[in-house]
Structure 1
Amino acid sequence: MNQYEEIEDELYEHHRIVADPNQTLLRIDKFLMDRLPNVTRNKIQSGIKDGFVLVNDKEIKPNYKVHPNDVITVSLPEPPRDTEVIPEEIPLNIIYEDDDLLVVNKEPGMVVHPAYQNWSGTLVNALTWHFQNLPTMPNNDGRPGLVHRIDKDTSGLLVIAKTEKTMTHLAKQFFDHSIERTYYALVWGEPEEAKGTINVNLGRSLKDRRITAPFPDGDYGQTAVTHYEVLNNLRYVSLIKCNLETGRTHQIRAHMKYLGHPLFNDATYGGDKIVKGTTFTKYKQFVDNCFKIIPRQALHAKSLGFIHPSTNEFVQFDSELPEDFKAVIAKWEHYVNFVD
């Protein structure tokens, strides 16, 4: 059994290409680049490594050379879908707007862009209703205005580009890791160091594509750096501030899990069960009540800072913690004071 046979996710065929009988030997990545529109060579190579590209129903290496009559299939975890976005009249919490950009405070539970099982009701559906002709990044069809994203159940700030110039300007800042992004998270337990940096590679789990896994030996994944600081130590849980130096998928969630302090009620990374505390029934009931208050991972994108594309001045935006986040912190503070 190879590492991909453990994955239960169904794959959907997106492309099937049969090589010409007179096909000369050609590397698979170059072959596909000529036949798949708007797909980069890096993306093709990643797809080959992840097992999404098969030749004659078999996995191949990135240096495989296509032979005459080879059958190449490209499959993905989500079915093919038209990239057209349907505008929907959904309210937006816009905290700042000018001719170049807007900053939105996203509610928890809202998906940022249309994708498998979430083709409607997303932030992008709302944006296309409120704004016309938003730009789209290359190879990012169906996601107008987006320069970055946050998870469905993470609340907080997103910057949206209204012009091509703004999108290019902001995309470069994200690429250069010069964007200032601060998150607040409620995590299980008390980190040994009140302040620290997690510098551990992150990549797609080899057992479950939906999960980001740490690779501390640096043999896989991408560089990922999170700076954290404990703001409020509540014995069983801690409120921490995280600053992202990089922006990998599920970075804070995976890094804090690696540190042994998963985010409170983060079902994907083990935070939806008691990680710190007693086994007494009353305590378990208290924790369950806390889970009901914040039925999601306790993570909020609190502030965002960047160089404005028109003024070239540094601008910063801040947001309040949402009500569910504030309520669960207050409940833990009361509990700690009560048991002292």
Structure 2
Amino acid sequence: MTKKILSNKSNLQVLYEDNHIIVVNKRVGDIVQGDKTGDKPLNDVVKAYIKIKYNKPGNVYLGTVHRLDRPTSGLVIFAKTSKVLPRLNKLFVSKDISKTYWAVVKNKPQKKEDTLINWLKKNPKNNKSFAYSKEVNDSKKAILHYKTIKKLDNYFLLEIQLETGRHHQIRSQLSTIGSPIKGDLKYGFDRSNKDAGIHLHARAIEFIHPVSKKPIHIVAPLPNDAIWNACL
């Protein structure tokens, strides 16, 4: 089930909305929640959108279900009611939600498709996760499945299914196999993108609606640039 994209003056792309849930397409550079930068976060933009659209007085409730890294783009789900937030959280914890990502890499993985299993340890000082082949102190098991779905002129497009949701998981694990994401200086790519983003996009999500029990399948349009356009 997919809804038509809506937009407002802040360029917010709403991909799906009902009484309980709102799903938006995050742009590169947007932060999902407020941080030390003081930049306006996406959840505030969504609150303003709801307040204006429905002419709501007072504060607007919005629950953040999950996050995407600032340099990435794609699907972000928010809860519009306090009732549905724990139900959505449960979907993520129980892995009853399918998340598909697209990543553009320069170095072709040795295997066309594979399952990567690592133990990730986050270093808060440099906001980076290091991947290990065996469990180390304070590490968390990380599992993803990838397959190469297209060869571009100078790059390769990978489709990724996440089994776990760790800090910088896709970025760290792809770097470990020698295929860092385009633009991702932190994880080994040789140069940055002009917009300071990376070519990692939360492409699709699929789950059973926790209230209506209807199947929901949403696909996020790709950012408009030459590399992403070549992926279609």
Please state which band the TM-score falls in when normalised by the shorter chain.
0.7 to 0.9
Contact 1:189 1:235 in 2 (8 A): no
**TM-score, normalization by structure 2:** 0.85
Structure 1 unpaired stretches of 5+: 1-88, 136-143, 274-287, 333-340
Q: How much has 1:163 moved relative to structure 2?
A: 0.9
CA RMSD, 1 decimal: 2.3
Give the AA of the match of 2:220: S
How far off is 1:309 after superposition?
1.5
Considering fraction of residues, name the structure with more strand.
2
Q: Deviations over 1:49-73 (max 9, x none)?
A: xxxxxxxxxxxxxxxxxxxxxxxxx
Cross-structure match for 1:304:
205
Q: Which residue of 2 aligns with 1:174?
A: 92
Match of 1:164 in 2: 82
* TM-aligned CA deviation for residue 260 of structure 1: 0.9
In structure 2, the residue corresponding to 1:323 is in which secondary structure? coil
Which stretch of the first structure deviates more once superposed, 229-238 or 91-100?
Answer: 229-238
| Paired AA for residue 152 in structure 1 | R
Whether 1:200 and 2:118 are equivalent positions in the alignment is yes
* 3-state SS of 2:145 partner: strand
- Equivalent-residue separation in structure 1 for 2:154 and 2:107 (angstroms): 5
Could you tell me which residue of structure 1 aligns to residue 44 of structure 2?
Answer: 125
- Are positions 1:239 and 2:138 aligned together? no
Give per-residue Cα distances to partners, 1:215-252, cap 9 Å, x unaligned.
22112311111110101134742110011111111111
1:328 aligns with 2:215: no
Q: Report percent identity of matched pairs.
A: 32
Q: Distance in 1 between matches of 2:11 and 2:221?
A: 18
Which residue does 1:154 correspond to in 2? Answer: 72
Q: Which has the larger radius of gyration?
A: 1
Relative CO higher for 1 or 2, CA cutoff 8 Å, sep ≥ 6?
A: 2
Q: Indicate conservation of the 8 Å contact 1:187/1:262, yes or no.
A: yes
Give how far 1:134 is off. Answer: 4.9
Alignment of structure 1 residues 5-16 onto 2, 5 Å: none
Distance 1:330 1:179 in 2: 27
Aligned length: 216
Letter in 2 for 1:215: Y
Match 1:109 to one of 21, 25, 29 = 29
The answer for unaligned runs of 5 or more in structure 2 is 1-8, 52-58
User: Equivalents in 1 of 2:153, 2:79: separation in Å?
Assistant: 41
In the alignment, the residues of structure 1 paired with residue 35 and residue 197 of structure 2 have an alpha-carbon distance, to the nearest angstrom, of 20
Per the TM alignment, residue 108 of structure 1 is displaced from its structure 2 partner at its CA by 1.0
- Within-5 A mapping of 1:1-340: 90-117=10-37, 119-131=38-50, 133-135=59-61, 144-205=62-123, 208-220=125-137, 221-234=139-152, 236-273=154-191, 291-292=193-194, 295-324=196-225, 327-328=226-227
TM-score normalised per structure 1? 0.59
Question: 1:272, CA displacement in angstroms?
Answer: 3.3
Match of residue 73 from structure 1: none
